[in-house]
Amino acid sequence: MKNTLLLKKYALNYLAKYDSSKKNLFKVLQKKIRNLKIDEKEKKILFNSINHILTEFESKKLIDDQNYSIRKIENYSSQGKSKRFIENYLLYKGIDKKLLNKLFLDFEIDNPDWEIESAKIFIRKKIKNYEKKEDLNKNLAKMARQGFSYSIIKKTLKI
| More confident: 134 or 142 | 142
3-state secondary structure of 79: coil
Average pLDDT of 49-67? Answer: 93
pTM score:
0.83
Write out 60-128 in H/E/C secondary structure. CCCCCHHHHHHHHHHHHHHCCCCHHHHHHHHHHCCCCHHHHHHHHHHHHHHCCCHHHHHHHHHHHHHCC
Query: What pLDDT is stored for residue 1 in this prediction?
Result: 56
Q: Which residue type, as a one-letter code, is found at position 96?
A: D
Find the range with the poorest average confidence among 34-43, 52-61, 103-112, 125-134.
125-134
Mean pLDDT for the stretch of residues 65-79: 94
| Residues 91-118, mean pLDDT to the nearest whole number | 93
Between residues 123 and 2, the one the model is more confident about: 123
Report whether pLDDT(127) > 90: no
Average pLDDT over residues 69-90: 94
Averaged pLDDT score across all residues of the chain: 90
What is the residue extent of each domain of the chain? 2-59, 65-110, 114-157
Residue 21 is predicted with a pLDDT of: 93
Instruction: State mean pLDDT over 123-144.
Output: 79
Q: What is the pLDDT of residue 139?
A: 83
